[in-house]
A and B are shown apart, each in its own frame.
Chain A
Amino acid sequence: MSARTQTFLWIGQRASAAVLALCVLVHLCTIIYAVRGGLSAAEILGRTRGNAAWLGFYSVFVFAVAVHVPIGLRSILAEWFGWQDESRDLVLWVLAAVLAMMGIRAVFGVFG
């Protein structure tokens, strides 16, 4: 992998971390607000169904996770287990796709 690609991975890691910091904050505030007076599936779905703003927000959240997690794991796998070759990156591409797909599926699950 070229120095350029590795640099873009690092930029992606930093940028997705910034997005995640904001997303997690909004997500936590929403949880704290939502559980006041008990939590029910109907109440949650009432908020998210057909709401394009939440759809957009959680899609961005999922995308940031799918970028951030595999790049972070990439260093952990290299440093802890010495796994540095291309097979690692291939597996992480698959992981990124799985995370994105599962996340988007859930986002659409509460939207539609």
Chain B
Amino acid sequence: MPREESQTVLDVVTYVQRHLDASLAYRFACRVGMCGSCAMTVNGQSRWTCRTHVSRVADDGRLEIAPLHNLPVVRDLVTDMTEFFDKWAKARGRFTGTRSRHEDFERVPPAGRREEVDAGIECIGCGVCYSACDVVSWNPDYAGPAALNRAWTLVQDVRDAATIERLRAVAGDAGAHACHTHMSCTERCPKQISPTAGIAGLKRAIAMAALKGEL
């Protein structure tokens, strides 16, 4: 494998596919860290490969590239993300507004709860956190860090009107309460999001709702 300056792991995979084994299956799209499709494990750790420099991760000049953990492999480096995204839907990961197009825009104060939303909103759905999470590997029903992070950004969204349904959807053994705060997701997330913080927020919000008899 020829070494180039600023060579990324994705460049290496592409080289293999173009020059060494045309049958190699892998996934990418944007190559600039926006689409979230290029995640793989590199020397055992989940990473976005398009923005991971070989020089940073090669161990004695060696790279072992494999598909993400905790997801079924379709072929080679391609995993089936269906369950990952189904869990977002299950965690009520879609916005539920109250206004129609005929009403004025809602004015959202940038401080306070909106800051919590901003901290988690840049998720690109790469699945790195899901692949790195021990709890997902022990408990296949567990929603996982990304879906719960998404739920948390909506719970903190002042415009959203489905908070209680969402808290109900993410409570309990398959939801926020399964998290053991290992923080692998937070350590590995390429967007520097802390799903752990969001999950802790969900646990608090769910507990408050339960104590108030709203759950």
A residues at B contact (CB < 8 Å): 1-4, 6-8, 10-11, 75, 78-80, 84
Q: Is the CB of A80 within 8 A of B211?
A: no
Question: Which of B135, B168, B177 is in CB contact (< 8 Å) with A10?
Answer: B177
Interface centre among A1, A78, A79 (most CB of B within 10 A): A79
Contact at B215–A7, with CB atoms within 8 Å? yes
Decide if B139 touches A6 in the complex (CB within 8 Å): no
Inter-chain contacts of B168 with A (CB < 8 A): 3-4
**Does B80 belong to the interface (CB within 8 Å)?**
no
Complex Cα distance A7/B206, Å? 7
Q: Could you tell me if B211 and A78 are in contact, using CB atoms closer than 8 angstroms?
A: no
A11, B211: Cβ atoms closer than 8 Å: yes
Q: Which residue of B lies closest to A7 (CB)?
A: B210
Evaluate contact between B173 and A6: CB separation under 8 angstroms.
yes
Binding site of B, secondary structure by majority: helix, strand, loop or mixed?
Answer: helix
Contact call A7/B177, Cβ cutoff below 8 A? yes
Q: What would 30 A/B residue contacts be, using CB atoms closer than 8 Å?
A: A1-B172, A2-B172, A3-B168, A3-B171, A3-B172, A3-B175, A4-B168, A4-B171, A4-B210, A6-B172, A6-B173, A6-B177, A7-B171, A7-B177, A7-B206, A7-B207, A7-B215, A8-B210, A10-B172, A10-B177, A10-B203, A11-B207, A11-B210, A78-B138, A78-B139, A78-B173, A79-B135, A79-B139, A80-B138, A84-B173
Does the CB pair A3–B207 fall under 8 Å?
no
Q: Which residues of A contact B211 (CB under 8 A)?
A: 11
Give CA–CA (A79, B172) in the complex, Å: 14
B27 CB to nearest A CB, Å: 30
Residue-wise, chain B 194-215 has the 8 Å CB interface mask toward A (1 for contact) of 0000000001001100110001
Closest chain-A Cβ to B170's Cβ sits at a distance in Å of: 8
**Beyond the given A7-B177, A10-B203, A78-B138, could you list 12 further A-B residue pairs with CB under 8 A, ordered by the A residue number?**
A2-B172, A6-B172, A7-B172, A10-B177, A11-B207, A11-B210, A11-B211, A78-B139, A78-B173, A79-B138, A79-B139, A80-B138
